[in-house]
Chain A
Amino acid sequence: MFGTGCASEENGIRLFVASSMTDFIQQIAASHMTAHPGSGLEINIAGSGTLLSQLEEGAGADVVILAGSDYMLRLQNFGSFLPPVQVASTSLSVVVSPELVAADISMQDLRVGRLQGAACVISAPCGQLAEEFAAATGLDLNSFTREANVRSVLAKVERGEVDFGLVYRTDFLSSEAQIGEISNSGAEMFVTFYSLAVARDTPDMPQAASLLDLITAPSGQEQLRQLGFEVP
């Protein structure tokens, strides 16, 4: 958890964000600080499953952005959050390490099982999507290393520690490493929706609302598009 260094931490907003939105939220945080100088924005980035566990165990949040509709549904069942707003979506992507970009890897090569794969743990939305994708395409996830969140999967592919990984399309597009994407994998059919919910009892509703506005405004949606997200 890290706080963005503003003048006072008293009237702060605690923002919980799914780790696949890391890049976007850093941009939003910067705009928010410009719009609200002197306010505090405390950002907690983790996999959606981890965030939900933290909230279940009593962690306090004013604004929560989760990947995966199931996760938002579970959050709504707490009863302490306002109805969600859908902010973006992205699909799954099969990426290969820089060493394999030139090798013209196909889905059939992955099914054979000689290459080391990585995917998210099943408790993360990207992991659930990976399970559905694997079931549909005959990939054997048992040989995969299961990482805590999608950033960790991406990092392992980027550094060539695994041969391929199941990440979000946005991660592939925003990656600065020379990783490749397998075309015609069918992964684009597997979509995760991001939604945002504000806590009912947040002490600073105007600030929470303005954060929501920043994200849903045309400028925010444009930022999302540039990062490769689909917007509603």
Chain B
Amino acid sequence: MRAQPPVRIRVIAFGALLFICAPLVSLLWRVPWSRLVDLLTREVVTDALLLSLITSLAAALAALALGVPLALYLTRMNGFSASLIRAVVVLPMILPPVVGGAALLFAFGRNGLVGSAVSDLTGLVLPYTLTGVIVANTFVALPFVILTVEGALRASDSRFELAAATLGANESRVTFRVVLPMVRPALIAGGFLGWARALGEFGATITFAGNIQGKTQTLPLAVFVALETDRDAALAMSVVLISVSLLILVSLRDRWWPVR
């Protein structure tokens, strides 16, 4: 049981809540609710919806596949090297996504360091493809997976691992049968958080994968274009993005953040 904060703190707290809610409520206020279904069934919108769903889910899975091993590894590390790696890993979370997109372009673009070699060898080109969208989304979703899972791993009781090892379980058995099952909620939470982040990704996608309807134009990109041509459609798509994101965060019930 905590004591109630003084009145002036409560007033500021209410102000903070209002500051976050006011723009969202104002947006919902302008949504043409009666035409919502009509707006959401337009081809531009359904294309973007489908594309967003595919790419964000793929990105969440890719982020899990890449992020969990790195989180396991980071948990074993301490000191400066761990801090340095963690800082680099968190960077895509804080960096303006457009910088991330530009960086991806310099790496995996047609004339990029890795991209030019890959396209010479295999003929594969990432920018302006669906795979390119997934790459951009994975890049921004990865930190959420790594931080969530690493946090849970560090908080978990290491005595179980010791006990399993003492009883003769080898490393992979300990990892897959003891360590990962203990942090299952964090794996789920990290995956969903990464999914939500990928769903909302804009800057890295438009910079790296372009804006091709039905191919790389995800919901946020379609909103961006529609804001100037068809505001009602932009609002309708915003409703979808807000509701899905909110649904994800509410269903996680704070599991993604260590709230006691």
Contacts and interface: CB of A to CB of B under 8 A. Distances in A.
A144 B229 CA distance: 18
B100 interface: no
Chain B residues touching A, range: 20 to 34
Interface stretch (B57-65, B183-191, B210-218): B210-218
Contact of B229 (A118, A122, A142, A145): A122
Contacts of B144: none
A121 to B, nearest CB: 5
Interface stretch (A30-38, A156-164, A177-185, A193-201): A156-164
Contacts of B229: 49, 121-123
A123 B211 contact: no
B110 interface: yes
A143 interface: yes
Contacts of A147: 210-211
A151 interface: no
Interface string B100-134: 00000100011100000000000000011000000
B212 A122 contact: no
Given A161-B109, A161-B127, A145 B228 contact: no
B110 A161 contact: yes
A146 B212 CA distance: 6
B225 A146 contact: yes
Contact of A160 (B111, B206, B224, B225): B111
A121 B111 contact: no
Nearest to A124: B228
Given A160-B110, A161-B105, A161-B110, A123 B225 contact: yes
Interface string A112-140: 00001010011100000000000000000
Interface in B171-211: 206, 210-211
Contacts of B213: 142, 146
Interface residues of A, number: 20
Contacts of A50: 228
A161 to B, nearest CB: 6
B100 to A, nearest CB: 16
B210 A121 contact: no
A161 B212 contact: no
A122 B211 contact: no
Nearest to B210: A145
A77 interface: no
Q: Which of B127, B128, B216 has the most CB of A within 10 A?
A: B128
A144 B212 contact: yes
B221 to A, nearest CB: 9
B111 A145 contact: no
A142 B214 contact: yes
Q: Which of B111, B211, B227 has the most CB of A within 10 A?
A: B211
Given A145-B216, A159-B111, A53 B227 contact: yes
Contacts of A121: 211, 225, 228-229
Contacts of A116: 128
A148 B210 CA distance: 10
B214 A145 contact: no
A116 B132 CA distance: 14
A26 to B, nearest CB: 22
Contacts of B128: 116, 145, 162
29 contacts: A49-B228, A49-B229, A50-B228, A53-B228, A121-B211, A121-B228, A121-B229, A122-B225, A123-B225, A123-B228, A123-B229, A142-B212, A142-B213, A144-B212, A145-B128, A145-B211, A145-B212, A146-B213, A147-B210, A147-B211, A148-B206, A159-B109, A159-B111, A160-B111, A161-B105, A161-B109, A161-B111, A161-B127, A162-B128
Interface of A: 49-50, 52-53, 116, 118, 121-123, 142-148, 159-162
Given A49-B229, A145-B212, A161-B109, 19 more contacts: A52-B228, A53-B227, A116-B128, A121-B225, A122-B229, A143-B212, A143-B215, A144-B212, A145-B210, A145-B211, A146-B212, A146-B217, A159-B109, A160-B110, A160-B111, A161-B105, A161-B111, A162-B128, A162-B210
